[in-house]
Structure 1
Amino acid sequence: MRKSAIILPAIVVVIAVILSSLYVVDEREKALVLQFGQIKAVKEEPGLAIKIPLIQDVVKYDDRILSLDTDVIEVTPSDDRRLVVDAFARYRIADVVQFRQAVGVGGIRAAEDRLSSILNAQIREVLGADQVTSDTILSEERGSLMLRIRDNARVQARSLGLDVVDVRLKQTNLPMQNLEATFARMRAEREREAADEIARGNEAAQRVRATADRTVVETLSEAEREAQIVRGEADAQRNNVFAEAFGADPEFFAFYRSLQAYENALQGGNSSMVMTPNSQFFDYLKNDNPEAGAN
């Protein structure tokens, strides 16, 4: 009984010691073996490992790519238009030993605080550079700006044992106090552009109307000229006919012209014509034979 009372607790102690000397590293983790706060071993491969119980401790860190949302900050580009920037970064622990030495027992939280300060500083530096305007930040060129922020932050994050994989700008907005002024300026610019378009449209309409008026005048002038030519040719042809008729029978031509004069003169109306009976106008209305007149 006494032996079993001694052996059983001893077995339990041995088992507990053996279990406390074993630890498992997941494939998503890296582990450090610490002895009185000093790094004694690094375990980066997944699997089962051994440590000295009660003397050594194991600290595990995530080996995956982690995400960090930075604080919302204001930046002032070269055109003095302030912008509110909200960014995030993706990083991983590249050197677990350097990471432990840099942040100590603070771990991930302490590392992210320091990494956030690095990112904010780089965002202000890159977006506030001389050649960077607010239009550049809001355009497709922002991709190159994010690469610059990432590269600069990566260099400084190496002292923490971190590797900055990517940096992205989630939102880039104007401060609330500047929105109304910006909207007013945008409205003024659009109204100016609209006025310019209207003025150009009126100018084009005036040119079209002037061209149309000139075309009408030229067409009418050309038509009138051709009509004058036709009338002139017709008058010439008529005069030729009259001349030929006069040459063929002067007496008949004189009689015909007198009939035309009678037709034009003796028309109904309120006009009166007073002349003597002996006037030559009535030569062809006279009857020289009295007997014929009596009949």
Structure 2
Amino acid sequence: MILYDKRQLLLEPPLEQVILGDQKRLEVQTYARWRIADPLQFYQSLRSLDQANMQLGQLVSSSLRKELGQVSLPTLLSPDRVTVVAKIQAEVLARARSMGVEFSEVRFRKADLPLETSQAIYERMKSERQREAKELRAQGAQWAQQIQSKADKDKLAILSEAQRSAKITRGQGDASANQILSQAFGHDARFYHLYRSLQTYRQALAGSGPTLFLSPDAEFLRDLKTGPGHALQK
């Protein structure tokens, strides 16, 4: 007499690489829960648990490859993967029934891109980010140049307006000064003489020009010696 355990058993097939419908490779590991539903059929088909684990693992792998070979990676990354898993489980259930086995669950334990594929995707994403960063820097440089150009134009316009206003103000000031001097000189010729002398002193004595050697009795120094009062009384 052979006794079989009718409790739920765990099946853990090894990690395997499958090709998806979009020709991408995926490393997949599944797990399943099953039990012996018909001991006689199980004995006739599989005989032992070791044989059952081997053949049921092949059955799950075959169903897995069949279904995943019809879907793309984006599908597996979307909510539609639930439908894919349900199809795998339905096929496993149907094929295992004739062996006296009943599956209660078939699930993905792990699903990853192969290392070389992951690296290629990473490099592509890195290249895209670098390209986007380069474009953003170029746009930033262009905007900065436009802002600087506008600032330079505004600066020139402001300076030009300031110079024009200053020129007008100086002209108005010179005109007012000339008018005042003209009126003053017209009434007092001695004041005009004193003013011209002071202007001459200012030009001759200002700055660090050549040194002048003059006699104390020089006509040039007369008003400095006598003072403005004497010049106006003459």
Asked if these proteins are the same fold (TM beyond 0.5), I'd say: yes
* C-alpha distance in structure 2 between counterparts of 1:259 and 1:155, whole Å: 125
Provide the residue aligned with 2:231 in structure 1.
none
Identity across aligned pairs (percent)? 19
Structure 1 counterpart SS, 2:47: helix
Q: CA RMSD in A?
A: 3.8
Aligned 8 A contact 1:111 1:160 in 2: no
Superposition pairs for residues 126-275 of structure 1, below 5 Å?
Answer: 126-129=67-70, 131-133=71-73, 136-137=75-76, 139=77, 141=79, 143-144=81-82, 145-173=84-112, 179-180=115-116, 183=119, 186-187=122-123, 189-247=125-183, 249-250=185-186, 252=188, 255=193, 258-259=196-197, 262-263=200-201, 266-267=204-205, 269-270=209-210
Q: Give the CA deviation at 1:266.
A: 3.4
* C-alpha distance in structure 1 between counterparts of 2:139 and 2:67, whole Å: 47
Q: Give the CA deviation at 1:248.
A: 5.5
CA pair 226-146 structure 1, distance change in 2 beyond 3 A? same
Q: Which runs of 4+ in 1 moved over 6 A?
A: none
* C-alpha distance in structure 1 between counterparts of 2:78 and 2:198, whole Å: 92
Q: Give the CA deviation at 1:76.
A: 0.8
* C-alpha distance in structure 2 between counterparts of 1:106 and 1:261, whole Å: 130
Structure 1 counterpart SS, 2:11: strand
CA pair 260-143 structure 1, distance change in 2 beyond 3 A? farther
Richer in strand (by share): 1
Q: Deviations over 1:226-255 (max 9, x none)?
A: 353144234314413432442455355854
Q: Give the CA deviation at 1:146.
A: 2.9
Superposition pairs for residues 16-31 of structure 1, below 5 Å?
Answer: none
What TM-score results when the alignment is normalised by the length of structure 1?
0.54
* C-alpha distance in structure 1 between counterparts of 2:197 and 2:91, whole Å: 115
* C-alpha distance in structure 2 between counterparts of 1:109 and 1:197, whole Å: 57
Q: Give the CA deviation at 1:132.
A: 1.4
Structure 1 counterpart SS, 2:61: helix
Task: Report which structure shows greater RCO (CA 8 Å, sep ≥6).
Answer: 2
* C-alpha distance in structure 1 between counterparts of 2:94 and 2:186, whole Å: 124
Is there any run of 5+ residues in structure 1 with no aligned partner, and where?
1-56, 273-281, 286-295
* C-alpha distance in structure 2 between counterparts of 1:156 and 1:218, whole Å: 82
Structure 1 counterpart SS, 2:23: coil
CA pair 218-190 structure 1, distance change in 2 beyond 3 A? same
Q: Deviations over 1:48-70 (max 9, x none)?
A: xxxxxxxxx6x543332211122
Structure 2 counterpart SS, 1:62: coil
Is there any run of 5+ residues in structure 2 with no aligned partner, and where?
213-219, 224-234
Amino acid at match of 2:67: V
Larger Rg: 1
Provide the residue aligned with 2:227 in structure 1.
none
Aligned 8 A contact 1:100 1:107 in 2: no
Richer in helix (by share): 2
Number of corresponding residues: 208
What TM-score results when the alignment is normalised by the length of structure 2?
0.66
* C-alpha distance in structure 2 between counterparts of 1:78 and 1:260, whole Å: 104
Structure 2 counterpart SS, 1:169: strand
Amino acid at match of 2:155: T
Q: Give the CA deviation at 1:190.
A: 1.6
Q: Give the CA deviation at 1:90.
A: 1.2
CA pair 228-201 structure 1, distance change in 2 beyond 3 A? same
Matched, 1:62 2:62: no
Q: Give the CA deviation at 1:89.
A: 0.9
